Chain A
Amino acid sequence: MNTVRDEIMPLQSESDLITVRQAVRIWMVPEGFNILEQTKMVTAVSELARNAITYGGGGEARLQLLADAARRGIRVTIIDHGVGIEDITKAMVDGYSTGSGLGLGLGGSKRLVDEFNIWSEPGQGTRVEITRWKQ
């Protein structure tokens, strides 16, 4: 697996969120992802980035283009150094929210991508890595 392109973007404010969303789409277009694939990935990124800002006090988004012999893909990792998640299994359940949200961000973004990995440590922060492959 090669990383063809790698970039880290700040994620502190509402305007950062918009910039990251736009960057993900811009990266996906030349890779041949169709509009539905783009929309799903951008929506998932938007949910996770919003969580990092709302609950994690902000962080970074890492965008990567991946390639191996068989396929290419885009991976986005959303990182924050905030309060972390006590019970990830619970947080992943649709409808669970400690805020005023719908509780669909984590569960929903997992459904929208090919790979979803989450690490979180209370008091340390949260990292969510999502990947969409183009076969």
Chain B
Amino acid sequence: MEQFPVLAVGDFMLISLREDMSDTQVMNLQDELSKQVTLIRPKGVLIDISSLEIVGSFLGRMLSDIAKIVRILGAEVVIVGMQPTVAMTTVELGKTLGSVLTARNVNSGMGMLRLKTMSSTSLAAASGRS
């Protein structure tokens, strides 16, 4: 997966997208990421898009598809680092990203994932006790 630098941080996986990816590379990303998630079984995946200068409807849909797939595989996804101008443009373009979780940067995304994965564990524990 040398096209997309992947970093394991504890239970989480951080993947950084490069600017100007071709459609083929984006589809490879979906494939590769599903494989990695099945293999590594992270609790959460952070997708860093800070280097992307635009997010069109194609990439937006691919990102929200990736989030759905990863969620089915048992991990949470947060898209982090979207540039403010990209965010403003995306809103005007339409509902490209669906209901994907987003965070300002890797740190806050990590915090979000911790909260998400912790609460589901403690909820499970709580219901197991009752």
Interface residues of A (CB under 8 A from B): 14-15, 18, 21-22, 25, 35-36, 39-40, 42-43, 46-47, 50, 94, 101-102, 104-105, 107-109, 111-112
Contacts and interface: CB of A to CB of B under 8 A. Distances in A.
A18 B22 contact: yes
A36 to B, nearest CB: 5
DSSP class of B's interface residues: helix, strand, loop or mixed?
A: helix
B92 A40 contact: yes
25 contacts: A14-B23, A15-B22, A18-B20, A18-B22, A21-B20, A36-B85, A36-B89, A39-B53, A39-B83, A39-B88, A42-B53, A43-B89, A47-B56, A47-B57, A94-B94, A101-B57, A101-B58, A101-B61, A102-B60, A102-B94, A104-B96, A107-B94, A108-B57, A108-B92, A112-B93
A47 to B, nearest CB: 6
Contacts of A39: 53-54, 83, 85-86, 88-89
B94 A104 contact: yes
Interface string B69-97: 00000000000000101101100111110
A43 B54 contact: yes
Contacts, number: 65
B130 interface: no
Interface of B: 20, 22-24, 53-58, 60-61, 83, 85-86, 88-89, 92-96
A105 B60 CA distance: 12
A62 to B, nearest CB: 20
Nearest to A18: B20
B56 A50 contact: yes
B57 A102 contact: yes
A21 B54 contact: yes
Contacts of A25: 53
Q: Of B23, B56, B83, which is in contact with the most chain A CB atoms at under 10 Å from its CB? A: B56
B85 A111 contact: no
